[in-house]
Amino acid sequence: MNFTSTADGILFNNLVSLIFREAERERTTGEVIRSGFSFVLRRKVGADSTLFRKFSQSKIQPEDVWSFLRRNLTENQLSEFSDIFADEDWSAHGDWELIDRTAKAFIAKDPRESTAIFWFFLRNLCRSEREIHAQLSQLSGDKLVLTSFYNGMVERIMILPGFDCQDPFSRQKYLVARVLYWAALVELYLRVSSEKYRKDIGNEKAALTFFLPQATNDKALIRSVEVFLNKQKQIWAYQCGKEKITDKRFFEDITNASLSPRQREKNPDISKVKKIFQRWRRGSPLRLVNLEKFIDPLYSAKSMTLRNEVTILMIPIINLFDYVQRQLLMQGLSNTEIESMFKEYNRYVDLVTQAYERTTHNINFIDYDIEAKL
C-alpha cells in the first residue's frame, strides 16, 4: 500500500483504474463504459478512446469528461451530470468521490424508486469511504498507527481476518475481495432494476456464481472467460437435445447459423470461429460485438439474444474476473488458491444484500429524494 495517499478508501480502492487499465490494454474501454452509459441513459453513446486512455493513465481531468459528455448527451442529460465534475478536481480524491457524484446524477435521472434507493445505498457506501478517508488523513503523520488502523479497517469491512497491507498474499486476497464486492453491487443493481435478470436467475443467489474460475485435475485453471464460453456451449447442447457437444460441433453450428439455409454445409470452414475462441481462451476479453457475431446467430431462431441489459453489465465483470485471475497466475498463485479466493463470492453477495436491506429498512426515502436533487 502507498501511504502517500489516503484517499483511496477501502471498498472502491482502485476501482476505476483497474477496470480501465485492462480495458485499454485490449482496446475495449469504449465498449465497457459506453455500455454502462447506454443502459442508464437508454440511448447509444459513442466512443472516445482518448478519454478512456487518460483514465487508464490516471491523467483524467474534469474538462476531459465534460468534453466527452457534451459530444454525446443532450442539454437535459448534461444538466443531470453537472454536479459530478463541478468545482473541485475529483481526481485528487478516491474513486468513491466519482462514484458518489455519478450516483447522485442517476437518482435525478431514474424515476423508479427501487433504483433510486440503490443509488442512495451506493452513496451511503461512498459516505463511509469519505469518513474513512478523513480518519486516515488525521493519522498520516504516524505510519505505524496508520498501518495498524488501515489493516483493521480492511479486515473488518472486507472480512479478511489477519489482513496485513505489507504482505503480498494479503494484498492479493484484498484485490479479489474488492472485485467480488463490486460484482455483488452490479448484481444487486440488476436485481432491483431488471425484470429479465430476476426471471433468469430464479431462486439462485447470484448469476456470476456460474462464471467463477475452476481448478482442474490436470493443473490448469479454467478462468472465468472460458467458463462463460463453456456455459454457452452447454446451453447450445441442451437446445440441440444433447447432454454435451464437442468444440468442433459447436463451431460448425456457429458457422452455419450465420449462413443462409442454402449456403450451409455439412463440414463448414470453422477456422474463423476457432480463432476467436482461441483468442478468448488465451486472455482476450469478451466483446459484445463479437458475441453478437458468433453466438447470437445460434439463438436468433429462438428469439434469444445476448444484447440485453443483463449481459451488457455482466460481461465487463466476467472480463474483470478473468483479468485478475491472469494477474494472480503471473504473480505465482496456485490454481487452487485462486479458485478458493473466488469461491467467496456468495459471501460478498450476502454482505452487500444485508447492507442494502439495512439501508432500505432505515431510509426515509421522501426526505432523501428531496436532498439528493438539491
Domain-embedded: residue 308: yes
- pLDDT value, residue 368: 46
Domain-embedded: residue 233: yes
In sequence order, the β-bridge partners of residue 221 are 215
Handedness of CA 325, 329, 330, 334 (dihedral sign): positive
Domain-embedded: residue 236: yes
Q: Residues 68, 51: contact at Cβ < 8 Å? A: yes
C-alpha cell of residue 212: 467463477
Domain-embedded: residue 309: yes
Q: Give residues with Cβ within 8 angstroms of 291, minimum separation 6.
A: 306, 311, 315
Between CA 43 and CA 206 the distance in angstroms is 27
In sequence order, the β-bridge partners of residue 214 are 222
- Say what the pTM is: 0.82
Domain-embedded: residue 131: no
Query: What does each of the 374 residues of the chain score in pLDDT, given as a tens digit?
Result: 333 344 567 998 888 767 665 555 444 444 555 555 554 455 555 555 566 566 555 565 656 666 766 776 666 666 655 555 555 555 556 678 778 877 877 776 666 777 888 998 999 999 998 888 888 888 877 889 989 999 999 999 999 999 999 999 999 999 999 999 999 999 999 999 888 889 888 888 999 999 999 998 767 899 999 999 999 999 899 888 899 999 999 999 999 988 877 788 888 899 999 999 999 999 888 888 888 888 888 876 555 666 677 887 888 899 999 999 999 999 999 999 999 999 999 999 999 999 999 888 776 544 444 344 43
322 closest CA partner among 219, 216, 208: 208
E strand or H helix at 87, and its extent? none
Structural domain containing residue 248: 208-344
Q: Residues 26, 300: contact at Cβ < 8 Å? A: no
Q: How many of the other CB atoms lie within 10 Å of CB of 350?
A: 13
Handedness of CA 33, 36, 37, 39 (dihedral sign): positive
* Number of helical (H) and strand (E) elements in the chain, helices listed first: 19, 2
- pLDDT value, residue 366: 42
Between CA 92 and CA 175 the distance in angstroms is 22
Domain-embedded: residue 216: yes
Domain-embedded: residue 156: no
Q: Is 38 exposed, middle or buried (0-12, 13-18, 19+ CB in 10 A)?
A: middle
Domain-embedded: residue 240: yes
Q: Residues 115, 193: contact at Cβ < 8 Å? A: yes
**Number of domains making up the chain:** 1
- pLDDT value, residue 42: 54
- Crossing angle of the two packed helices 345-362 and 113-138, in degrees rounded to 10: 100
Residues in the chain: 374
Find cell 436532498 and name the residue: 371
E strand or H helix at 214, and its extent? strand 214-215
Q: Is 80 exposed, middle or buried (0-12, 13-18, 19+ CB in 10 A)?
A: buried
Between CA 253 and CA 266 the distance in angstroms is 10
DSSP, residue by residue, 197-210: HHHHHTT-S-SGGG
